[in-house]
Amino acid sequence: MSDIPQHGFATRAIHLGYDPLDEQGALSPPLYLTSTYTQDSIEAFDQIRLGERQGYVYGRTRNPTQALLEARLASLEGAEAGVVTASGMAAISATLFSLLQSGDEIVVDQIVYGTAFTLFAQGLTRFGVRAVFADFTRPEAVAAAIGPKTRAVYFETPANPNLRLVDIAAVSAIARGKGLLTIVDNTFATPVLQRPLAHGADIVLHSATKYLGGHGDLLAGAVLGRQEHIDAIRLQGLRYFTGATLSPFTAFLVLRGIKTLELRVQRHSESARQVAQLLRGHAAVADVFYPGLPDTPGADIARRQLSAGGGLVAFELKGGLAAGRTLLDSLKLARIAVSLGDPETLIQHPASMTHASYSAEDRERYGLSEGLLRLSVGLETPEDILADLKQGLDRL
Ligand SMILES: C/C=C(/N=C/c1c(COP(=O)(O)O)cnc(C)c1O)C(=O)O
């Protein structure tokens, strides 16, 4: 079925780029565990290196199982090409090390995943790259932060951990007008709900550890975008800056994960919407942040960019951190753990867990409350998730 690329999201996630009749009728794509490849002549290796011939040489930069996953993820994000990596942080670092060099600046949103913040605030400075943090909910603040040395802008939307929303079209228009690249981490929304390239972004990143793998049993990353950028990220960022290659077996697991991605994200979203409504109506809750609530901050952006609210809910209790600790200790179904996008409902305290690498001053400055809790709503029976949360809240 050569016309699969014109089919729907779920059909492409399941069928794109592979015909079982090419592989003895094997319905599940083969797993290529080889580290190296032979060819029939030295000339063949020259032709592959020069891009005159499709083929494989060595597993650090290309592998057929990874290549199928890259083709499917690129299709799901509406990208020309993709490259997969050993983790989400590997996707971020391979991208930054390929596209930036000493003396460059990059404008970054104030609210990003904690370890990504550390890479920007501390890691890149060791190589002469300066991150300038700005409030991306105000596009004019992004424009003001751009200088003659800026090469790119970077943000997450919805952002980790408080789910704040950034207007992709507005920010990417500012960046494009100054000849800059727009890099968007789409981990929280997934391409089921949001495709940043369609709103003007140039590069999309994923921690495939999360919703794409979808079962809390792997670490992986992905970068999607134009061929020229993906080639640079593969042949520089992956091949020699990081070497952070995705194992073929993990690529096989992510291929299996994305077959149910649309179904899972829809279920995560519906359950999270119910959780957000429960929280919104409970006396112990001070504030709820959920893109699927009609009056959430940035609701107009959500309506333009997201087809549903997603599986993450952030909230604050009236009793602050002390109440948060009591709640976490009283939950019986939800597990206290970092990460997200698992079938299991997970709850965590960003200030002491995923965002502990922000200094207390930076958390204060950027509005990351000490009392904020982040809930990754799982795939359990929704009534059970709600009952567990309610019994914990009712004790406060
Ligand atoms: C413990 C990890 C969490 N997050 C990670 C993460 C990464 C980094 O992804 P790897 O963990 O390197 O696959 C990249 N981009 C985003 C928006 C992320 O949330 C967490 O928040 O709970």
The full set of domain ranges for the chain reads 8-258, 261-394
| Shortest-distance atom of ligand 1 to CA 161 | 21
Per-residue model confidence as pLDDT tens digits over 87-104: 999 999 999 999 999 999
Given a cut of 90, is residue 5 above it in pLDDT? no
Least confident of 99-113, 214-228, 362-376: 362-376
The whole-angstrom separation of Cα 169 and Cα 175 is 10
The CATH H-level (homologous superfamily) assignment of domain 261-394 is Aspartate Aminotransferase, domain 1 (3.90.1150.10)
pLDDT at 252: 98
Q: Which two tokens stand for residue 33?
A: 């565990």
Please say whether the beta carbons of 79 and 204 come within 8 A. yes
Residue 260 Cβ inside 6 Å of ligand 1? The answer reads no
Please say whether the beta carbons of 306 and 294 come within 8 A. no
- CA 149–ligand 1 middle distance (angstroms): 28
Please tell me the residue having the least CA distance from ligand 1 atom 4: 339
Given a cut of 90, is residue 2 above it in pLDDT? no
pLDDT at 209: 98
Higher per-residue confidence, 4 vs 270: 270
Please say whether the beta carbons of 248 and 289 come within 8 A. no
If you average pLDDT over residues 185-212, what whole number do you get?
98
Per-residue model confidence as pLDDT tens digits over 226-254: 999 999 999 999 999 999 999 999 999 99
Catalytic residues: 60, 113, 185, 210
Q: State the DSSP code for 312.
A: E
Per-residue model confidence as pLDDT tens digits over 41-82: 999 999 999 989 999 999 999 999 999 999 999 999 999 999
- CA 46–ligand 1 middle distance (angstroms): 38
Report the phi/psi class of residue 296: left, alpha or beta, with left for phi > 0 and alpha for psi in -120 to 50.
Answer: beta
Look at residues 231, 195, 208, 228 and name the one whose alpha carbon lies nearest to residue 90: 208
Residue 16, number of CB atoms within 10 A of its CB: 18
| Residue of 84, 165, 207 with the most ligand 1 atoms within 8 Å of its CB, for mutation | 207
Look at residues 199, 206, 200, 231 and name the one whose alpha carbon lies nearest to residue 99: 231
Q: Which two tokens stand for residue 290?
A: 């959920």
CA angle 361, 366, 372 (to 5 degrees): 90
Best CATH choice for the domain 8-258 from the list 3.40.640.10, 3.30.70.100, 3.30.110.30, 3.40.50.300:
3.40.640.10
pTM for the model: 0.97
Confidence at 4, pLDDT banded by 50, 70, 90: confident
Which ipTM value was assigned to this complex?
Answer: 1.00
Please say whether the beta carbons of 102 and 108 come within 8 A. no
| Shortest-distance atom of ligand 1 to CA 208 | 13
Q: What are phi and psi of 289, to 5 degrees?
A: -120, 110
